[in-house]
C-alpha cells in the first residue's frame, strides 16, 4: 500500500492552499489543472460545484495529506496506471463501475476507454481528458517545401532533412516545467519496439539494455543532425505557434493553446500520428487518460454524485469541449475541434492500438528520477550523457524492483 504520510512542512503548505476554498461550497472538486482555470470555471458554473486548482507537486502534497487524514475532497483528479493503483490502495476511492455500465450501454463510451481507468478489473475513475499523443505540424512549411504528412519512418526522416536543409528546425522539444523529458524517449521506443516499452514498466526490460540503447542512438542521431530545437525554452507552445519549428510532438490537449496563439486548423496547423520505425509492428498511439475520482463518502452523497455524473455525461463533455477544447472520449459528444476529429478518424481507419503514456505506466516512485535523467540528456545530448543517463536510470529501476 502507498505510504500517504507527509512531512509537517508539506502538510502545512497543502492545507493552507486547501483553506482558500469557500467554506460554503456544497461539492468540492480539487485538481492539478489550474492551467485550465477558465474552462474549469465554466464547468463549475454549469455543474454547480466549487473547484480549487494546484500546481502538480503542491497537489500531490494536498491529496496525500487529505488521504492520510481520511478526509479526501469530494471529487478530485489523479493519474492512471501505477499512480491510480497507489491511491486506490488507500481504500477511500469509490468503485464507479455502475456509472460506466450505464454510459457504455448508452453508447457514450467504449469498453477500451474504461480499461484506462480501472485497477484489477474495477473501475475507479471517469475521464476528464482522453488525449492521443500526436505530431502537430506547420502546414505552410510543409507545403512550401513540397512535403506531405509522413506515413512511414523513412518519409518522416526525409521531411526532417528537407526542412533542416531549408534552415527550418524540424522538431520542437523542450524540458519546460521539468516533466517533458520522457516524451520523445517514449515515442521513439514505441515506434522501434513496443513490447520492450511495456517491459520497462514491469521491470523485465532494463534501462541500460540494447532496447533502450537503440532509442538513444536514434535520438542522438537526430540531435547531431540539428533536428531539435533548444530544449531550454520556457515558451514551448508559443514558439511552435510562432513558426520556430515545423513539428511538435504533444498531447491533443495542446490544440486549444495553439489556436489561442494564432494558429488555424487546416491553414497552418495540421496533425498526424507518428509512423512506426519497425513496420512489422501494429500501428499504435500513446494515450493519456486523466481520471476524475470520487471518494467513497461522496459517492453516497446525491449532490456530489450528480456533479460526478455531469462530468461523465454528453452534456458535460460538450460544455468542456466548448470551454477548453478538450476531449473526454465521449462518443456521443461533439468533437472539440477538427484536430481531434481527424485523429479519431485516423485511429479508426488505421486500427491503432492504445498505448499507455510513460508517465502513467511507469511506477510513480520512478517518475521524477528517470525524467530528470532524460532531461539531462536533452540539455547535453552526447554519447557520454546518454550512457550516463542509461546507467543512472537502471540504478533507480533496479533499486525499485528489488523492493517489490
Q: Which one, of 380, 211, 186, lies nearest residue 388 by Cα? A: 380
Given this model, what pLDDT does residue 259 score? 94
Give the CATH class of 133-285+359-402. alpha beta
Q: Is 389 helix (H, G, I), strand (E, B) or coil?
A: helix
Amino acid 277: pLDDT: 98
Close Cβ partners of 70 (under 8 Å, ≥ 6 residues apart)? 92
Q: Is 203 exposed, middle or buried (0-12, 13-18, 19+ CB in 10 A)?
A: middle
Residue 398 parent element (H or E): helix 383-402
The predicted model scores a pTM of 0.84
**Hey, how many other C-beta atoms are within 10 angstroms of the C-beta on 360?**
23
Q: To which H or E segment does residue 18 belong?
A: helix 8-18
Give the model's pLDDT for residue 151.
Answer: 97
Give pLDDT, residue 2: 42
The residue ranges of every structural domain in the chain are: 8-131+288-349, 133-285+359-402
Task: Please report, to the nearest 10 degrees, the dihedral formed by the alpha carbons of residues 63, 67, 70, 73 taken in order.
Answer: 30
pLDDT, tens digit only, all 404 positions of the chain: 344 433 333 443 343 333 333 334 489 999 999 889 999 999 999 999 999 999 887 998 999 899 999 999 999 999 998 889 989 999 999 999 999 999 999 999 988 889 889 999 999 999 999 999 999 999 999 999 999 999 999 999 999 999 999 999 999 999 998 999 999 999 999 999 999 999 999 999 999 999 999 999 999 999 999 999 999 999 999 999 999 999 999 999 999 899 999 999 999 999 999 999 999 999 999 999 999 999 999 999 999 999 999 999 999 999 999 999 899 999 999 999 999 999 999 998 999 988 999 999 999 889 999 999 999 999 999 999 999 999 999 999 999 999 98
CATH fold label, 8-131+288-349: D-Maltodextrin-Binding Protein; domain 2 (3.40.190)
Q: Are strands 171-172 and 122-123 parallel, antiparallel or unpaired?
A: unpaired
Count of all residues that appear for the chain in the document = 404
Pairing of strands 284-294, 353-356: parallel
What is the gyration radius of the CA atoms in the chain, in angstroms?
21
Q: What pLDDT does residue 21 have?
A: 37
3-state SS string for 97-134: HHHHHHHHHCCCCCHHHHHCCEECCEECCEEEEEEEEE
The DSSP 8-state label assigned to residue 152 in this structure reads S
- CA atoms of 294 and 370, how far apart (whole Å): 30
Domains 8-131+288-349 and 133-285+359-402 share a fold: yes
Exposed e or buried b for every residue in 218-237, given b needs 16+ CB within 10 A?
bbbebbeeebbbebebeebb
Amino acid at each position: 500500500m502507498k505510504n500517504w504520510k507527509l512531512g509537517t512542512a508539506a502538510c502545512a503548505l497543502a492545507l493552507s492552499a486547501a483553506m482558500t476554498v469557500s467554506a460554503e461550497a456544497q461539492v468540492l472538486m480539487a485538481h492539478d489543472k489550474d492551467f485550465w482555470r477558465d474552462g474549469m470555471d465554466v464547468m463549475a458554473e454549469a455543474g454547480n460545484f466549487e473547484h480549487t486548482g494546484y500546481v502538480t507537486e503542491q497537489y500531490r502534497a494536498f491529496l496525500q495529506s487529505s488521504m492520510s487524514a481520511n478526509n479526501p475532497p469530494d471529487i478530485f483528479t489523479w493519474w492512471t496506471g501505477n499512480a491510480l493503483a497507489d491511491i486506490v490502495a488507500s481504500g477511500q476511492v469509490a468503485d464507479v463501475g455502475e456509472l460506466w455500465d450505464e454510459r457504455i450501454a448508452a453508447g457514450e463510451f467504449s469498453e477500451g476507454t474504461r480499461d484506462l481507468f480501472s485497477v484489477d478489473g474495477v473501475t475507479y475513475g471517469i475521464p476528464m481528458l482522453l488525449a492521443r499523443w500526436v505530431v502537430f505540424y506547420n502546414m505552410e512549411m510543409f507545403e512550401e517545401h513540397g512535403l506531405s504528412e509522413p506515413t512511414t519512418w523513412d518519409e518522416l526522416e526525409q521531411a526532417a532533412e528537407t526542412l533542416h536543409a531549408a534552415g527550418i528546425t524540424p522538431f520542437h522539444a523542450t524540458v519546460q516545467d521539468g516533466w517533458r523529458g520522457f516524451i520523445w524517449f517514449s515515442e521513439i521506443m514505441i515506434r522501434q519496439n513496443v513490447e520492450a516499452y511495456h517491459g520497462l514498466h514491469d521491470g523485465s526490460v532494463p534501462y541500460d539494455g540494447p532496447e533502450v540503447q537503440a532509442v538513444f542512438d536514434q535520438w542522438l542521431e537526430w540531435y547531431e543532425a540539428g533536428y531539435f530545437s533548444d530544449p531550454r525554452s520556457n515558451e514551448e507552445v508559443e514558439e511552435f505557434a510562432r513558426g520556430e519549428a515545423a513539428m511538435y510532438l504533444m498531447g491533443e490537449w495542446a490544440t486549444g493553446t495553439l489556436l489561442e496563439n494564432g494558429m488555424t486548423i487546416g491553414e497552418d496547423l495540421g496533425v498526424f500520428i507518428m509512423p512506426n520505425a519497425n513496420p512489422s509492428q501494429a500501428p499504435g498511439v500513446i494515450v493519456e487518460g486523466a481520471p476524475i475520482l470520487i471518494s467513497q463518502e461522496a459517492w453516497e452523497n446525491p449532490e456530489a454524485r450528480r456533479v460526478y455524473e455531469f462530468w461523465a455525461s454528453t452534456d458535460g463533455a460538450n460544455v468542456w469541449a466548448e470551454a477548453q477544447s478538450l476531449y473526454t472520449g465521449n462518443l456521443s459528444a461533439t468533437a472539440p475541434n477538427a484536430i481531434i476529429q481527424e485523429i479519431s478518424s485516423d485511429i479508426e481507419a488505421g486500427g491503432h492500438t492504445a498505448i499507455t503514456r510513460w508517465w502513467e505506466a511507469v511506477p510513480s516512485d520512478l517518475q521524477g528520477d528517470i525524467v530528470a535523467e532524460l532531461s539531462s540528456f536533452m540539455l547535453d545530448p552526447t554519447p557520454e550523457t546518454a550512457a550516463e543517463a542509461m546507467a543512472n536510470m537502471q540504478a533507480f529501476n533496479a533499486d525499485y524492483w528489488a523492493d517489490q
